[in-house]
Amino acid sequence: MILTLGERGAFVSTDEIEEMIAAPSVRAIDATAAGDVFNGVLAVMIAERKSLIESVRWANAAAALSVTKMGAQPSIPTREAVEKFFRM
């Protein structure tokens, strides 16, 4: 189970893992599409065989980045933007 908690991050629970993954701190402007961004990045990371925890960290970073812009489509970050933001 993955429970997204907005600015608090996401809680991951499996048979082996129970972990709270913090979200990066950002100045939120619009949360439109943040959940879609989270789910899309989570799916890509899992498809690329990243661990569940690493996948959630990337998804959190992408969703946090998305809330810094207005609107749905304009707020969806590129992979390069997420990689840069994730490394900060």
In a structure prediction context, what are the per-residue pLDDT tens digits for the chain, which is 88 residues long? 999 999 999 999 999 999 999 999 999 999 999 999 999 999 999 999 999 999 999 999 999 999 999 999 889 999 999 999 877 6
Q: Which of 29, 54, 27, 30 is nearest to 42 (CA)?
A: 54
Residue 36 falls in the annotated catalytic set: yes
Alpha carbons 51 and 74: distance in angstroms, whole number:
28
Q: Return the CATH number at 28.
A: 3.40.1190.20
Distance (Å, rounded) from C-alpha 39 to C-alpha 22?
16
From CA 43, how far away is CA 37, in angstroms rounded?
A: 10
Active-site position among 7, 30, 36, 54: 36
The range of the structural domain enclosing residue 14 comes to 2-87
Domain count, the chain: 1
